Amino acid sequence: MNNIEIPVDGMEIVWEKPETLSEVRMHYCPGCGHGVVHKILMEVVQEMKIQDKTIGVAPVGCSVLAYHYMNVDMQEAAHGRATAVATGIKRVLPDKLVFTYQGDGDLAAIGTAETIHSCNRGENFLIIFINNGIYGMTGGQMAPTSLLGMVTSTTPEGREVHTQGYPFKITEVVATLPGTHYVTRQAVHTPSAVRFFKKSIEKAFKYQMEKKGTCLIEIVSNCPSGWKMTPVQSNKWMEENMFLYYPLGDLKDAGKLVEKKTTPPQPKKEVVQ
C-alpha cells in the first residue's frame, strides 16, 4: 500500500495508517467493529487512488460522526434516508464514487423503504451495512436484526416471535431485487475475515465504476457495550450465534444469486447474557 521507508532503527515499515483516515480519536467503544471497517474502507480508497472521487453518506446511529474520521467528502443524512441522499448525489454527480454507511436500525427499520426502493431501482452506489443486532447508540434496544431470545433493554426476557417477529434478513431480500449487482455478508473480527471484507470493498467500487448497479456489503459485527460483554466474549458470542442466522459469504455476484450448497442452522432460541 505504501512506499517502504527505512527508519532510524533500521526496521522496515510494512504498514502505516492510511492518509484517508483523519488524525482524530474515534468515539467507538473498545472492541467495536466500526473502527476496523473505517480503516479498511479508507485503506481501499487510498490504494485505488479514488480519494478525490469518493463521497460518503452517514446518517444517524453509532456512525453519525463518520465524517469526522474519513478524509473524503461526506454528507450527513436524516435517520434512515442515506440511500435517498446517495441517490441524489449520484444522479447529480454520476462520475463520483458514492457509498452509504448505515447500521441495522437505520437501514433495516426507519430506512427500510429507502433501502428497498434504491436497490430495486439499481442506483449505482455502494451500501455498507453494519449489523450488530442491537441499537448501540441509544441504549441497547432491540433492532430488526436482533436474534430470537436475544436480551435487550426492550426485550428483557428475550426476543419472541409472537410479539416481536423474526430477525429481519434484509440482505437476503435486496439480493433478490433486479437492481442489485453484488450483495455479500462479511465480518472483521479476524485477520482472515478482514481480508475477505477488503476484497469485497474493492470489488464493489470496481462494479460502481462499471455502472453495474447497487452493491451492498453487510458486515456482521459485535457490540460489546450493547451486549454487555467484553470484546473477546462478544466476538465469541457473534461466531456462535450471529453467524448461524447471518452466515457469511456472497449472496449475489455479477447480477446472479449465489447458490448455497448447505442450509445454515437455525439460531438458538435462548440467549443468556
Cβ contacts of 45 within 8 Å, gap of 6 or more: 18, 20, 51, 54, 72
Residue 126 lies in a domain: yes
Domain of 223? 34-257
**Predicted model pTM:** 0.90
User: Helix, strand, coil shares of the chain as percentages rounded to 5?
Assistant: 35, 20, 45
Q: How many CB atoms lie within 10 A of CB 178?
A: 11
Residue 14 lies in a domain: no
Residue 238 lies in a domain: yes
Question: How confident is the model at residue 11, as a pLDDT?
Answer: 76
User: How many structural domains compose the chain?
Assistant: 1
Residue 2 lies in a domain: no
Residue 22 lies in a domain: no
Sign for the CA dihedral angle at 185, 191, 196, 200 comes to positive
| Nearest by Cα to 31 from 254, 233, 209, 211 | 233
Q: Pairing relation of β-strands 180-186 and 214-220?
A: parallel
Question: How confident is the model at residue 261, as a pLDDT?
Answer: 59
Residue 144 belongs to a domain with what CATH number?
3.40.50.970
Question: How confident is the model at residue 268, as a pLDDT?
Answer: 52
d(C-alpha 17, C-alpha 24), whole Å: 12
Residue 4 lies in a domain: no
Q: Look up residue 199 and give its amino acid.
A: K
Q: Any alpha helices (H) in the chain, and if so which ranges?
A: 34-47, 82-92, 104-105, 112-121, 161-164, 170-175, 191-209, 224-227, 231-237, 243-245
Residue 18 lies in a domain: no
Question: How confident is the model at residue 6, as a pLDDT?
Answer: 55
Block means of pLDDT (10 residues each) for the chain, 273 residues, are: 56 82 92 96 97 96 92 96 98 98 95 97 98 91 96 95 97 98 98 97 98 98 95 97 98 94 50 47
Residue 20 lies in a domain: no
